[in-house]
Amino acid sequence: MLIYNLLCIGIDMINIGICGLGTVGQSSLEHIVKFKDEIRSNVSANFRISHVADLDIESKNLNGLDVITTNNAMDLAKNPDISIIIELIGGTTVAYEVVSESIKNKKHVITANKALIAEHGDKIFKLAKEANIFFGFEASVAGAIPIIKALTHNMLNEKIFSIFGIINGTCNYILDQMATKNLDFKTALAEAQSLGYAEADPSFDIGGNDAAHKISILASLIYKIPLPYKKTYIEGIESISSMDIKYSDELGYTIKHIGVTKENNDLVECRVHPMLVPKDNILSQVHNVMNAVLVSGERFGSSMFYGHGAGGDATASAVIANLVEAINFDQNIDRTNLKISESIGTKNKKIKEIDDIENSFYIKIHAKDVTGVMAEITNILAKENINIEAVTQHEPNESGSLIPIVMITDSVLGSSINKAIKKIKCLDNVKGEINSIRVLKLHG
């Protein structure tokens, strides 16, 4: 059983309130109790978990922990005895009310809520700056990977060129299983759900929204722009077929769901979508539910951060890292966190439209097995100034009437590839949907 002694030696006592006891909340609570002595050795004041809130608090097992409980998180936000609020409710409605009220009441706040930051971060950072409080959100991106700390502290004075990241474990698991076990999308998704790697309603993950929240947070941090979530290009993995996986493999690529942010001439790219990743690229070796963030900078070159991106224990470790910072901030030991709140949104750079971004593309076309069809397709591509790097023709499909034609193009504007695909669809000898997937080329 977890036993927490509220009697600590010393005058100063920092009371902590935890809001939300789901998977992450429960793990955070247990880890703070279990590793209390280790945490205490890294902070400058005594602390305790004094209050816990959950909508269904009566059903929660607190393992004998001596705390004040409530089913109303706003009670904690308004309680003058609490110094630090750990918000693990999720969502953007109640969570925002609790966080904003806590900040207004001069409480330090820690959250793992990526949706909250991506959609309301600009307002929250402003409140945090005005209130002169610590606002920690390490756990909101990539779980146990300390990417927020690295970007805002270790790389603070570095010019960051780009970030390419596998930042959704559900997508990575599904695509990985499709590649390694030759599963179709539905089967791989069902397996992920059975193992707890995907929600009963997986649309937020497989549709790309979860990754979009995360990449918009990273873009805002490194380029000092307002949170760009509403302008982020979002594409999920629902349209990826087992044939796309197979053909990509034959061409020397692995399909991954990638979050991208880059800056060039004060134009910032912020996008999430599937990409063909060359097999000799380190991101292609990220398997199962693991996350990885590849950061490229002016002086250090490239660095990759790798680890568990989700789950109770992984996220709790990031929450505890922020807790140490929050206590030391409260005691005026380290107040560098304020620089984050002060810098977000100070630069007003434009988000680049997806059609204005250049990429190489994988294109899969189903055409009749007749003479001249390739000439028709390549003629359209040539008129749009699209060069072909590689092309393969495969065996006819099950009906025997159509052949899959797969191409890798040279780097081209998204608008040009869309125009070409629209024209190719109109050809009499081309049938069905044409699938296009961007190709990762880090030098371009």
Give the span between the Cα atoms of 443 and 261, in whole angstroms.
14
Query: Mind telling me the catalytic residues?
Result: 214
Give the span between the Cα atoms of 188 and 173, in whole angstroms.
8
Q: How many CB atoms lie within 10 A of CB 12?
A: 12
Q: Name which of 218, 229, 231 is nearest 340 in CA terms.
A: 218
Look at the alpha carbons of 309, 310, 314, 317 in this order and tell me if their dihedral is positive or negative: positive
The three-point CA angle 249-421-278 to 5° equals 25
Give the span between the Cα atoms of 86 and 84, in whole angstroms.
7
Dihedral-angle region of residue 349 (phi above 0 means left; psi in -120 to 50 means alpha; beta otherwise) = beta
Positions of E strands within 84-156: 84-87, 108-111, 135-136
Amino acid at 129: K
* Helix, strand, coil % in the chain, rounded to nearest 5: 40, 25, 35
Amino acid at 394: H
Give the span between the Cα atoms of 444 and 435, in whole angstroms.
22
Look at the alpha carbons of 276, 279, 284, 287 in this order and tell me if their dihedral is positive or negative: positive
Q: CB-side exposure of 79: number of CA atoms within 13 Å?
A: 23
